[in-house]
Amino acid sequence: MSIEKLLKPKSIAVVGASSNISRVGGRLYNHLIQHGFKGAVYLVNPRHQHIGDMKCYASVSDIPHAVDTLLIAVPANAVVPVLEEAGKANVKSAVVYSSGFSETGEDGRLKQERLEQTAQAFEMSVCGPNCVGVINFQDRIAMSFSQFLNVPALIPGRIAFISQSGALGGSLLNRAQDKKIGFSYFVSGGNEAVLDSTDFMEYFIDDPNTSVIMALLEGVRKAEKFLKVSEQALKKNKPIIVMKVGKTAAGSKAASSHTASMTGSDEVYEGIFRQQGIIRVHDLDDLYLTASAFEKSQLPRGNRVGILTSTGGGGVILTDKLVESGLSVPAPAPETALNLKRVVPAFTSVSNPFDLTAQLINDPELFKKALNVFANDENFDAVIVAASMVAGELSEKRASFIIEGVASIEKPLFTWWAAGSLSAPGMEKLEASRVPYFASAAQCVNALTALVKYAGFKNKRKSRDAGGLPAPLAAEKEIIALLTSSQAGVTEDKGKQILARYHIPVTVERSGQDLAAVSEIAENVGYPVALKVISPQIRHKTEAGGLRLNIKDKTELSTAFEEISANVRLYDARAEIEGFLVQEMAAPGKEVIIGVKQDPQFGPVVIFGLGGIFVEVLKDFSLRRAPLSETDAREMIEALKGYPLLAGVRGEKRSDLQAIVRALMSVSRLALDLKDMISEIDINPLMVYPEGQGVKVVDCLIIKKH
Amino acid sequence: MSIEKLLKPKSIAVVGASSNISRVGGRLYNHLIQHGFKGAVYLVNPRHQHIGDMKCYASVSDIPHAVDTLLIAVPANAVVPVLEEAGKANVKSAVVYSSGFSETGEDGRLKQERLEQTAQAFEMSVCGPNCVGVINFQDRIAMSFSQFLNVPALIPGRIAFISQSGALGGSLLNRAQDKKIGFSYFVSGGNEAVLDSTDFMEYFIDDPNTSVIMALLEGVRKAEKFLKVSEQALKKNKPIIVMKVGKTAAGSKAASSHTASMTGSDEVYEGIFRQQGIIRVHDLDDLYLTASAFEKSQLPRGNRVGILTSTGGGGVILTDKLVESGLSVPAPAPETALNLKRVVPAFTSVSNPFDLTAQLINDPELFKKALNVFANDENFDAVIVAASMVAGELSEKRASFIIEGVASIEKPLFTWWAAGSLSAPGMEKLEASRVPYFASAAQCVNALTALVKYAGFKNKRKSRDAGGLPAPLAAEKEIIALLTSSQAGVTEDKGKQILARYHIPVTVERSGQDLAAVSEIAENVGYPVALKVISPQIRHKTEAGGLRLNIKDKTELSTAFEEISANVRLYDARAEIEGFLVQEMAAPGKEVIIGVKQDPQFGPVVIFGLGGIFVEVLKDFSLRRAPLSETDAREMIEALKGYPLLAGVRGEKRSDLQAIVRALMSVSRLALDLKDMISEIDINPLMVYPEGQGVKVVDCLIIKKH
């Protein structure tokens, strides 16, 4: 399907055209003309012969010329017939503004299905329905009824903007263009019946006029494609900046009822964004400001920031925010003071933040030289210049110093200006320049942090495949046999056998049917041991009284055997007892959890956290989609707030992080290999020992798909 | 000292007046005249007879009229002589703009001391030195050289603004007044040699023209007064909104080098702000936006927010941010749907967020009725109305609907408008109204959250005194004897005896000198016991091998005794062994930590956290200043991220929270009683048992002041 024709039509027909510009069909034509569409426009409406001095056709098939794109603003019931007619007339793309589809319930959903089928039958690229449309800023083709198009002129640029919210999309365009931020395209796909955000993303990644993509998302429909496209984006160096709404459960509920979008669990999106190098912002203004910063700036080599400021308080605020964001504000290199002295002989010392003296601020040549010396300090990977109250012409001069000063600096240089309208001349000059400019310290630091993290991500990015992991130790058939040996569930022993086939170390253990067998095994395993009932019906053995730990000898074993048998019968008389598992008592270590869940869109995801309360009370866990690369697995460990516990605090030994990495990667492979059969895995705990001493699965639960 | 005269002078003399308006002495006169000062102005400069057509006096004593306030812009060396002369002429207040004082090192510090002494000698209210000055918006007296005064007109209002940063202060005024936010006063006190932020705060609390105080602070100089003043503010219902900079260690370093301000530890400020009901914001724009919201809005009764929106996506974003801020977005009451149906018969259902239909949006009467019904839903304590892209006149109409609709609603109603300049007519109308208006969802939610938290604080606020706590069980003399029994340090047993005198439960224990004594004690205490060396030189017994836990019988005790004795001799041959402590093995419980530290400004502060890694790795602790009220102590417990562990999770019993509250309050009293003798207390762990079963100090360390 040709998105190209949709976005860059040479001829357009407005179906449902109207002379009333308060109606969608009236606005569409007006917007096209107002913003200077150069191609042919045809109006279609059987109820008119003319609209203004334009001829009006009764139907699409009456148009005696080829039409690239249809803009459809007719009632929902009339949309499919129009599309069919257009299809027959060989029109290859359309934007459907009409509402009354899947956002309105079952009847609308059926209409939308027919729309989709029609589009497919005719291989037609359709945007919508229920959308505000598309704007091509580069060629000034305004195919939208958004009131944003009341602006006097479109500012073209290199940012493509995909918005799943039409109203917010128009609002953000307005705010961004107020700040002179230009766009290549704007697309708001409404119900996304045919083309969705991912399809447009794919197009923009190959578009030579687009260098950054920003998206306001409620959810992703085509998960696999989204992953593929985000890989492409990394390869082509096109950052994707996302504001994803519906973060909280309550917000997510609001999102589902709002459009027909399927909002996935926010934690899964968060994990996948991190894994795919997608930059997530958390406020609307950050979306276009960060996108613009990416568009204007080179990437920093590291996270060390120098601050040049004309307000001491501003320097402190920036420092606070940079440090909170994980960036650093190091001391300048010793030679910088010397170099500055050469420029400004009266000069005595330099610090970071560097608070400019009145002399430096007011002399353009000195300012430029000082900026140059300070910014080129090798201890800084990026520089922020902060300005405060400077009124009128003076502000314009200050902006000029900065813009000219930047020319010789080969690292990102951001500006923050704290003042208001009195400094507008200077601010507007910066906005129009290639220097990223911010009216808020927080927004400045947020954008710079995004650049630093993206650059860091790209630097350490390794191959995404799970290469380096050996194949399972058994044929798939054998593993499936373990998984399916009981209809009711996968017992702990079978679960561990499966994990072991994937090179994941488990406790030494064997099962027996009666006390005699169990005693013999205990002798071989060596006391102390744990004894656990094996029953596919009993998922939670502690609850059922189905296990005893730290059994020291044969007598204790015998008691434990009797007690467990009795407990389990009492707990669930119908539970089928397959046997008893005798297990070594694993040496104490750090307890961690590895889990797997199936996300309805993204498939198996792996969850990692520290044992017990860390995951449950503090929600301190990380999540990534399977398969995990080594980098993914390492990041999952380092992402935990409790990571210092594993890295070693208070003189404790460092845990065997490499063994956790291997276990995570292996679990991710297992989860993917068996994704059609397993719905959940819960390894809890995985005991982690000091560096070089590995890990060991102590208990695990595998839940099959029904 | 009369701040009144400083802020509301009827006659002003500018000392160091200049005809050059690029100089401070030139600007000051200009600003006074430009903004319409109605009183008498005298210029002083021995080098001129006239400046423009104004007479210029050679010195202050030459002025033949009474002068209320001097504005001093002469070199640092000349400041004190001018003050002396003015003092003799009975001038009672002055603003000193001149720099070259404590911000420049030792020589400047001495100059500042002389300035301070002079002011005191003449009982003169002095603002500065090194400041940008004072603006009285109500009476339009602009006593500042800030370029902010280039604005065409001052907008008066009811917010007093105290800024420790002159440049940022002017910048913020500019931004706030751009949004039509008015002020009563602006004060930037520079080095605060005489009058400091707290003095001005005190004045504004009694000022009938001020209803909200906002402050940009780096630190507080007069800690005791600050506490007193914040109490007054609560009583007089004048919220104090603070942006405190220097949060991180790096930022705090930048703050100290910037002015002579003493930046305290940020955690202490954070604790004290919470304890005193001071609202802290974390971004500059939030400062005036939140202050303005407090000025315009009544307080909400609770935290339940209803959202009325014309953009579905906007409703989701608000919901996300409200829930993240701890507010709730509940379903509407059942009758609301019925009531709405009466207003809009076509209407079928209502939810929260409530996404307005086109019909409701475009009909002013319907909109007002719907807003009225929705906002008066008893399930909501506050309402946010969200608007997006509406251009030109339409936006003005929308704003009018909202402003008129609000009239009949008796709860806070905030507005957020996502669009940009196209909606400016509507936004400006809202800005000029009494409806709190925000251009950003985050700022809207931040401000509403501040109102909710402040209202909650006021509701549950109890008396601040530590009433209800019984007096210590011993005379001060006896307690001091325990504290001073050894020169070298306070041993664990003495420490616990002190705690016990303050009604804090400790382990059963006694000390003996030799094995025989120790054995006898162990029999009485009952095995298992712990044995610990008592030595004032050994603070960390584990490190020294100076303790054994879980000793089960006499034989083990004897071994332990020998081992400890040997270990300690090896660890520190000079350590004086006072004896051995035999201690019951406390039953396992939840381990928490109570600490006390002396803050150089605020005196003893109490720290509370969960044991071990929670405090050290996760930095999960709370802090309040002594003495703690019951409310303070309870809040300290509930503030922990790990609080669910104490409240009971996963079917565990609730811990004895009331016993922790009592222990915290008692420790706070102890810390205050003995604040001149104790520098640190570390109770680690305090064992906490299930509800009704109390707490017990297992180990403690008290460090004396030197």
Q: Give the orientation angle of helix A197-206 with respect to helix A223-235, to 10 degrees.
A: 20
Separate counts of helices (H) and strands (E) for chain B: 25, 29
Query: Does B508-584 match B590-704 in CATH topology?
Result: no
Subunit contact B316:A418, Cβ cutoff 8 A: no
Question: Is-contact B361 B310, C-beta < 8 A?
Answer: yes
Q: Contacts of residue A392 in chain B, CB cutoff 8 Å?
A: 150
A705 three-class SS:
coil
Work out the angle at residue A144's Cα, subtended by the Cα atoms of residues A140 and A146, and round it to the nearest 5 degrees: 110
CATH superfamily of B508-584: ATP-grasp fold, A domain (3.30.1490.20)
pLDDT at A600 (0 to 100): 87
End-to-end CA gap in chain A: 38
B607 three-class SS:
strand
Question: Is-contact A654 A693, C-beta < 8 A?
Answer: no
Q: What is the pLDDT of residues B114-132, one digit of tens each?
A: 999 999 999 999 999 999 9
Q: Give the orientation angle of helix B476-484 with respect to helix B492-501, to 10 degrees.
A: 170
Q: Which two tokens stand for residue A95?
A: 């934007």
Min distance A17 CA to chain B CA atoms (Å): 20
Find the mean pLDDT for residues A536-559: 91
Q: Where are the alpha helices (DSSP H) in B144-265?
A: 166-178, 197-206, 223-235, 249-258
Burial of residue A84, with CB atoms counted within 10 A of its CB: 0-12 exposed, 13-18 middle, 19 or more buried: middle
Write A559-562 long-range contacts (CB < 8 A, 24+): A560/A531, A561/A515, A561/A518, A561/A531
Subunit contact A250:B650, Cβ cutoff 8 A: no
pLDDT at B261 (0 to 100): 40
CA distance B199 to B222: 9
* ipTM of the shown complex: 0.93
- Of B85, B80, B40, B44, the C-alpha closest to B61 is B85
Q: What is the pLDDT of residues B322-365, one digit of tens each?
A: 999 999 999 999 999 999 888 877 777 789 999 887 667 777 78
Residue A215, CB-side half-sphere exposure with 13 Å CA sphere: 27
Q: What is the pLDDT of residues B612-653, one digit of tens each?
A: 777 777 888 999 999 999 999 999 999 999 999 999 877 789
Chains A–B, number of C-beta pairs less than 8 Å apart = 244
Phi, psi of A244 (to 5 degrees): -100, 125
Q: Contacts of residue B324 in chain A, CB cutoff 8 Å?
A: 247-248
Subunit contact A422:B151, Cβ cutoff 8 A: yes
The Cα-based distances of A83 to A15, A90, A111, A332, B438 in angstroms read 10, 10, 12, 65, 43
User: Looking at the domain covering A298-460, what would its CATH class be?
Assistant: alpha beta
Burial of residue B536, with CB atoms counted within 10 A of its CB: 0-12 exposed, 13-18 middle, 19 or more buried: middle
Write out residues 211-240 of B within 8 Å (CB-CB) of A: 216, 218
- Best residue in A349, A388, A415, A440 for a mutation probing chain B (most B CBs within 10 Å): A388
Q: What is the number of residues in chain B?
A: 706
- When mean pLDDT is compared across A341-350, A543-552, A643-652, B35-44, the lowest value belongs to A341-350
Q: Contacts of residue B219 in chain A, CB cutoff 8 Å?
A: none
pLDDT at B37 (0 to 100): 96
Find the mean pLDDT for residues A82-94: 96
- Of A415, A427, A485, the C-alpha closest to A179 is A427
Subunit contact B147:A246, Cβ cutoff 8 A: no
CA distance B72 to B95: 6
What lies within 8 Å, CB to CB, of B694 at 6+ separation is B505, B656, B659
Domain boundaries, chain B: 1-131, 155-296, 298-460, 508-584, 590-704
CA distance A44 to A94: 14
Question: Is-contact B25 B14, C-beta < 8 A?
Answer: yes
What lies within 8 Å, CB to CB, of B143 at 6+ separation is B9, B12, B28, B31, B32, B69, B71, B95, B133, B134, B135, B136
- Best residue in B317, B394, B542, B543 for a mutation probing chain A (most A CBs within 10 Å): B317
CA distance B646 to B400: 51
End-to-end CA gap in chain B: 38
Q: What is the pLDDT of residues A304-332, one digit of tens each?
A: 999 999 888 999 999 999 999 999 999 99
Q: Write down the residue that tokens 């001493």 correspond to.
A: A693
- What does CATH list as the number for B590-704? 3.30.470.20
CA distance A308 to A355: 6
Question: Is-contact B512 B582, C-beta < 8 A?
Answer: yes
CA distance B479 to B473: 9
DSSP type of residue A655: B
* A547 — pLDDT class (breaks 50, 70, 90): very high
CA distance A616 to A602: 23
CA distance A263 to A242: 15
CA distance B196 to B226: 10
Q: Which of A167, A178, A390 sits opposite B420 (nearest CB)?
A: A178
* B475 — pLDDT class (breaks 50, 70, 90): confident
Q: Which of A245, A388, A421 sits opposite B320 (nearest CB)?
A: A245
User: With an 8 Å Cβ cutoff, is B353 touching chain A?
Assistant: yes
Question: Is-contact A49 A56, C-beta < 8 A?
Answer: yes
Looking at domain B155-296, does it have CATH number 3.40.630.10?
A: no
Burial of residue A196, with CB atoms counted within 10 A of its CB: 0-12 exposed, 13-18 middle, 19 or more buried: buried
% of residues, chain A, pLDDT over 70: 96
Nearest chain B residue to A394, by CA: B147
Question: Is-contact B620 B643, C-beta < 8 A?
Answer: no
Q: Which of B353, B420, B613 sits opposite A171 (nearest CB)?
A: B420
Find the mean pLDDT for residues A227-235: 96
Q: Which two tokens stand for residue A627?
A: 């398969």
User: With an 8 Å Cβ cutoff, is A178 touching chain B?
Assistant: yes
Q: Which two tokens stand for residue A454?
A: 């993206």
Q: Could you check whether the bond before residue B330 is cis, i.e. omega within 30 degrees of 0?
A: no
CA distance B229 to A702: 61
Q: Where are the alpha helices (DSSP H) in A35-98?
A: 76-88
Q: Are strands A437-438 and A354-355 parallel, antiparallel or unpaired?
A: unpaired
Does the pLDDT of residue B534 top 60, yes or no? yes
Does the pLDDT of residue B254 top 70, yes or no? no
CA distance A449 to A381: 12
Strand partners, A387: A417
State chain B's mean pLDDT as an integer.
92
Q: What is the pLDDT of residues A129-171, one digit of tens each?
A: 999 999 999 999 999 999 999 999 999 999 999 999 999 999 9
Q: Contacts of residue B353 in chain A, CB cutoff 8 Å?
A: 254
State chain A's mean pLDDT as an integer.
92
DSSP type of residue A344: -
Residue A553, CB-side half-sphere exposure with 13 Å CA sphere: 1
Sign of the CA dihedral with B345 first, then B348, B350, and B356 last: negative
Does the pLDDT of residue B48 top 50, yes or no? yes
Q: What is the number of residues in chain A?
A: 706
- When mean pLDDT is compared across A555-559, B377-381, B396-400, the lowest value belongs to B396-400
Q: Which two tokens stand for residue A543?
A: 């609850």
CA distance B105 to A488: 80
Subunit contact A150:B391, Cβ cutoff 8 A: yes
Subunit contact B441:A283, Cβ cutoff 8 A: yes
One-character DSSP codes across A308-322: EES-HHHHHHHHHHH
Q: Which two tokens stand for residue A36?
A: 């200077």
More confidently predicted of A486 and A501: A501
What lies within 8 Å, CB to CB, of A508 at 6+ separation is A525, A583, A584
Burial of residue A296, with CB atoms counted within 10 A of its CB: 0-12 exposed, 13-18 middle, 19 or more buried: buried
Q: Give the orientation angle of helix A492-501 with respect to helix A657-673, to 10 degrees.
A: 100
Q: Which of B317, B419, B650 sits opposite A245 (nearest CB)?
A: B317
pLDDT at B259 (0 to 100): 41
pLDDT at A262 (0 to 100): 40
CA distance B147 to B546: 67
What lies within 8 Å, CB to CB, of A703 at 6+ separation is A489, A490, A539, A678, A679, A680, A681, A682
Q: In what helix (H) or strand (E) does residue B530 lie, and over which residues does it extend? A: strand B529-534
- Of B530, B531, B482, B473, the C-alpha closest to B504 is B473
Find the mean pLDDT for residues B540-551: 90
Does the pLDDT of residue B260 top 70, yes or no? no
Q: Contacts of residue B419 in chain A, CB cutoff 8 Å?
A: 170-171, 174-175
CA distance A166 to B469: 61
Strand order in the sheet with B579-584: B509-512, B579-584, B529-534, B547-551
Q: Which of A283, A355, A441 sits opposite B442 (nearest CB)?
A: A283
Looking at domain B1-131, does it have CATH number 3.40.50.720?
A: yes
User: With an 8 Å Cβ cutoff, is A257 touching chain B?
Assistant: yes
Q: Which two tokens stand for residue A563?
A: 């007690």
Q: What is the pLDDT of residues A389-418, one digit of tens each?
A: 888 888 998 899 899 988 889 999 999 999
Question: Is-contact B693 B522, C-beta < 8 A?
Answer: no
Q: Contacts of residue A422 in chain B, CB cutoff 8 Å?
A: 147-148, 150-151, 174
Residue B673, CB-side half-sphere exposure with 13 Å CA sphere: 20
Does the pLDDT of residue A68 top 90, yes or no? yes
Subunit contact B147:A441, Cβ cutoff 8 A: no
Q: Could you check whether the bond before residue B685 is cis, i.e. omega within 30 degrees of 0?
A: yes
User: With an 8 Å Cβ cutoff, is A105 touching chain B?
Assistant: no
One-character DSSP codes across A589-615: -EEEEEEEEEETTTEEEEEEEETTHHH
Subunit contact A285:B440, Cβ cutoff 8 A: yes
Write out residues 648-677 of B within 8 Å (CB-CB) of A: 649-650
